[in-house]
Structure 1
Amino acid sequence: MWKHVVANVFTLLIVAFVVLGGVVAMGQRAFVAQGPLTEAICLRVDQGANLRTVAASLDEQEAVSSPMIFRIGAQYDGRDGRLRFGSYLVPAGASMDEILDIVTRGGASTCGTEVVLRIGVTQVSYLVRELDPATNRFEEAVTLPLETEEFPAEYQTVANLPDTRFRITVAEGATSWQIWNALNTAEFLEGTIPEVPAEGVLSPDSYEVRRGADRAALIADMEERQAGILATAWENRVEGLPFETPEEALILASIVEKETGVPEERRVVASVFLNRLAVPMRLQTDPTVIYGITLGQRVLGRGLRRSELNADTPYNTYRIDGLPPTPIANPGRASIEAVLNPDQTDFIYFVADGTGGHAFAVTLAEHNDNVARWRRLEAQPDN
């Protein structure tokens, strides 16, 4: 009898182990299988959150097939204690294993809200924007001028969240004074930048920072990036250019940057100025004259006067030969590369063509025709 009882117990244990093994195998398959999400979501992990609360949030957003399997899977491979707070983009169809990797590997948040200090050519503003996970595009929520003194609740609430990201974007063609003034004013930065950096040495780019980031360190990063871009472009320059130093190339790149906003035109515009230098012929470009008036500290906001075009200043390229003494803005990578590897053309002249671009000409007669065409477009009521 005892043998019969022992045999039955042994059989039950075998069946139990088989069932348990099947359950474990099913759980493992479910853990790595495609998840139920039909579109991406933004998952927020608060500071101090535990695995149970994260699993519950995922279950509520229908991102996991089983919060229990999610927790067991995390505990099984030791990731249950490695949660990192922040806001994370979870793509459609992500498995529980993939979601766990997203929230435990650390690094910058990939979703949620950003506060952006946008330094443009004509204005500087704070922008609060939030990523729409369904489209993976940022939607603007609040826009405020740089001079804001009392920030509204919509801004303060977002800016004080621990996982909000802060970003500074610098437009190509912004001046060093504009960047210096904006950074010294930015409410989420600390420290001081005593002097305006030299014109042209700051890289127009996007810089992610933390609240309380040091202003001087940020300027140093901008200078280092621009120096690297210029050094690489100088190393790869074509032969026969009229530059003796990389700094001279930077000056012309800043002029190209201010003359055209059309990416496809940069190398052509660069060729025009290089052709003028080769003639030799004065550069005759309005942006340098404007810089001589404003020194990059304000937008002129009007056309140039005849007296200003006739004035003898170091930046009046209608009056001086060759390049002005310094850059007139901070050029981007494309403009730097354009002057060091320009298109090969015979163009000497160009004028706006009414489409945002320019009409180019080899002879003065062709140029005068283009100018007359532009004048007619300007005179039309819709322009």
Structure 2
Amino acid sequence: MRNRQPADRQADQKTTRTRGSLARSPAERLEPTRPPARVNRKVRLDEERKPRPLLAFMNGVLTVALVGMLLVGVLAYYFDGQMDAPGPLEKAKIIVIPKLEGSLEIAARLEREGAVSDRRLFTAGYRWLQLLAWLDGDKALQLKAGDYEVRQNASVRDLVEQLSEGKTVTYKVTIPEGLTSQQIVDRLNADPNLSGEITAPPPEGSLLPDTFVTQRGAPRQSVLDTMQMGSRKLMERLWAQRKKDLPVKTWEDAVTLASIVEKETGRNDERDRVAAVFVNRLRQNMRLQSDPTILYGLFGGKVLWGRPIQRSEIGQKTAHNTYQIDGLDRLPARVADRRRRQRRSCLRGEPQGPQRQRAEVAPGGKGSQGQAGTGAAAGRANCQDPSARQTTGRGAHQTRKQGL
């Protein structure tokens, strides 16, 4: 028959209708297409369960990292709380950290001193803060030697910050006015908070006394150098402002004259007059005749200013006795003097206001205290009666009033 077709062609048409792999006729397109064969679920599950090594490894790594981060966070929170916890120190105390001690030795020392309960906690805290500083890009923390005043109940964080910043206890070294260079050296050598030794005193008058703030173990020579530098800067400034017609040739002579004024009178309101009288004597080529120079000529840098002056000592010629020598040429600066007032008075040459006229009175005449405050006439007046007189830092002025 015409409509009969071979079996293989019928199969192809069947395939076409079911699978749609060949072109379909309009009639065939009206027939629904069969869905694909259902895949066996068991086979699909077996394929999905096949081992994948890389994925398994990544899952393991992420799991470990997550657990590790959680653990580190918990430990960091706990450790941070321990670092800020109050320490065992019941009251503030001074703890000395010697030089060249490492962090382990410092931790052991803090434990012995009772500042920390466990040296391992301090060491761990120090390393932890070092790590944080490194992560922040800051300068590496280093524990420094020195004397530290550890406050009561200081935490580990407080201790690490205090020792790494070097917040040490400072000590004051006070050098009063009126001391000779030798006396200043003796005072510095006797200070237990300083180190080193000064063997030779500097030139007289080259030191500017003051109160200096130092740390334990600071070199004694450094304090001396600071005093010399301060004196030099002060005199350079005052010397540039001096009156040009003064009979003082160098600023060293001005320091010498200021030191004499310092010991001649102890009253601030008299120093201008005393300085003016001395300047007038230098202008007239007269001897200064100052009592303190007698004592310094006899005893030098170890002088005791309260010692009485004997009558025979006034006429004893020494390198510094201004009763026996002329001017300032042979007289070194004697005593340390930080009072700017004396030095300005000596470089100004005359007092201000109503004191100016009294300073012009010749030595030996009667009048106000200031006219003979230099001790010139005082020496002559007092030596006529007693065989000795008392002189202190202002003894010449006192004996002048007694003589009148």
* TM-score of the superposed pair, with normalisation by structure 1: 0.52
Give a deviation string over 1:212-250, Cα, whole Å, max 9, x none: x898x9977764453234324434668987644312220
**SS where residue 327 of structure 1 aligns?**
coil
Out of 31, 42, 62, the position equivalent to 2:83 is 31
| 2:272 counterpart residue number | 271
Given candidates 14, 30, 55, the residue that maps to 2:107 is 55
Aligned AA for 2:83?
F
- Counting helix residues as a fraction of each chain, which structure ranks higher? 2
What aligned pairs does 1:169-180 form with structure 2 within 5 A after superposition? 172-176=177-181
Distance 1:183 1:59, change over 3 A: closer
2: CA distance, partners of 1:341 / 1:373: 21
2:331 is aligned with what amino acid? T
Measure the CA separation in 1 of the matches of 2:240 and 2:116. 53
Amino acid at match of 2:97: V
Cα separation, 2, equivalents of 1:207 and 1:219: 13
What CA distance in whole angstroms lies between the structure 1 residues aligned with 2:337 and 2:109? 43
Task: Tell me if structure 2 keeps the 8 A contact 1:257–1:331.
Answer: no
| Deviation of 1:314 (Å) | 6.0
Partner residue of 2:239 out of 234, 239, 258: 234
Contact 1:271 1:339 in 2 (8 A): no
Q: Find the structure with the greater CA-based Rg.
A: 2
Relative to the length of structure 2, the TM-score reads: 0.50
Q: Which amino acid aligns with 1:100?
A: V
Residues 11 and 76 (structure 1 numbering): CA distance in 2 closer, same or farther, change over 3 Å? same
- 1:238–1:341 CA contact under 8 A, matched in 2: no
Give the C-alpha shift of residue 288 in structure 1: 1.3
Q: Deviations over 1:56-86 (max 9, x none)?
A: 5435545347755433221123389944455
Aligned partners of 2:238 and 2:344 also within 8 Å: yes
More strand per residue: 1 or 2?
1
The one-letter code of the counterpart of 1:339 is R
2:292 is aligned with what amino acid? P
1:208–1:24 distance in 2 versus 1, CA, 3 Å: closer
Match of 2:73 in 1: 21
**1:209-248 paired onto structure 2 within 5 Å:** 223-235=228-240, 243-248=248-253
Report the counterpart of residue 254 of structure 2 in structure 1: 249
State the SS of the aligned residue for 1:200. Answer: coil
The letter for the 2-side match of 1:333 is R
Report the equivalent of 1:355: none
Map 1:135-214; keep pairs closer than 5 Å.
172-176=177-181, 197-204=202-209
The alpha carbon displacement at 1:290 in A equals 1.7
For structure 1, the residue ranges without an aligned partner over 5 or more in a row are: 1-6, 112-135, 139-166, 350-359, 376-383
What secondary structure is seen at the aligned counterpart in 1 of 2:277? Answer: helix
Q: Which has the higher contact order (CA 8 A, sep 6+)?
A: 2
Q: Compute the displacement of 1:41 (Å).
A: 1.7
In structure 2, the partner of 1:90 is 150
Corresponding residue SS for 1:78: helix
Name the aligned partner's letter for residue 274 of structure 2.
F
Tell whether 2:94 aligns with 1:42: yes
* Percent identity of equivalent pairs: 30
Name the CA distance, whole Å, in 2 between partners of 1:231 and 1:184.
29
